[in-house]
């Protein structure tokens, strides 16, 4: 098992909404430009300027894996990801219905489900995202960074409070 596995981490605040991730994902996996075949999708609330990229979380206790009646979905612990074995898949699409993130796609032409495979450890969406709204990082390190970020907000509020107190 990988000692300190990496994960796709999405920081929606940094997303500029350009959808290059959708484009490169579909080109890399299918050789076509078609966001309908992308593993990642930027959900938008345009009238508020909110852009939220959505992708597979590679769950440890994955609902798609649990629901699969033929055990076609399993975890690959080396890359800490959930993978579909298309030789076993019967196309029942139970996994599509059960995923809480909508991360399991279905290609109506090829009649196959598809999901993020982290591009075998070199995610193209990350490679192309200059903003690092999508990043591929060690999970434990990410948690530390997030702690610091959250604490920084409290620290700022504290500084402001002290400033205000001194003005009184």
Nearest-approach distance from CB 62 to another protein, in angstroms: 26
Nearest-approach distance from CB 27 to another protein, in angstroms: 5
Q: Tell me whether residue 62 or residue 119 sits nearer to another protein (CB atom).
A: 119
Nearest-approach distance from CB 59 to another protein, in angstroms: 25
Which residues ranging from 106 to 165 are in contact with another protein (CB under 8 A)?
A: 124, 127-128, 130-131
The three-class DSSP label of residue 1 is coil
Answer yes or no whether residue 57 interacts with another protein by CB under 8 A: no
- DSSP assignment letter at 85: -
Q: Tell me whether residue 85 or residue 122 sits nearer to another protein (CB atom).
A: 122
Would you say 74 and 83 are in contact if contact means Cβ atoms under 8 Å apart?
yes
Would you say 93 and 105 are in contact if contact means Cβ atoms under 8 Å apart?
no
Site string for another protein, 13-52 (x = CB under 8 A): xxxxxxxx--xx--xx-xxxxxxxx------x-xxxx-x-
Would you say 161 and 153 are in contact if contact means Cβ atoms under 8 Å apart?
no
Residues composing the chain? 168
Nearest-approach distance from CB 71 to another protein, in angstroms: 30
Nearest-approach distance from CB 102 to another protein, in angstroms: 13
Residue 120, token pair as written in the block: 């075998």
Rounded Cα distance between 23 and 37, Å, is 9
119-146 burial, b at 16+ Cβ within 10 Å, e below that, comes to: beeebbbbeebeeebbbbeeeeebeeee
Q: Tell me whether residue 21 or residue 68 sits nearer to another protein (CB atom).
A: 21
Q: Tell me whether residue 77 or residue 152 sits nearer to another protein (CB atom).
A: 152
Where do we find the tokens 């982290």? Answer: 118
Which parts of this chain interact with another protein (CB under 8 A)? Answer: 13-20, 23-24, 27-28, 30-37, 44, 46-49, 51, 124, 127-128, 130-131
């Amino acid at each position: 098992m990988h000692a300190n596995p990496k994960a796709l981490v999405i920081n929606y605040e940094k997303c500029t909404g350009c959808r290059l991730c959708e484009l490169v994902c579909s080109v890399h996996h299918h050789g076509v430009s078609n966001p309908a075949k992308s593993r990642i999708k930027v959900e938008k609330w345009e009238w508020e300027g909110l852009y939220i990229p959505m992708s597979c979380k590679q769950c440890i206790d994955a609902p798609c894996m649990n629901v699969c009646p033929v055990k076609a979905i399993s975890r690959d612990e080396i890359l800490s990801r959930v993978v579909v074995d298309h030789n076993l898949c019967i196309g029942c699409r139970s996994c599509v219905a059960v995923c809480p993130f909508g991360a399991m796609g279905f290609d109506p032409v090829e009649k196959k489900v598809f999901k993020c495979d982290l591009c075998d450890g070199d995610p193209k969406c990350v490679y192309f995202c200059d903003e690092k709204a999508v990043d591929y990082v060690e999970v434990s390190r990410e948690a530390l960074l997030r702690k610091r970020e959250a604490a920084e907000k409290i620290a700022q509020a504290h500084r402001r409070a002290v400033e205000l107190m001194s003005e009184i």
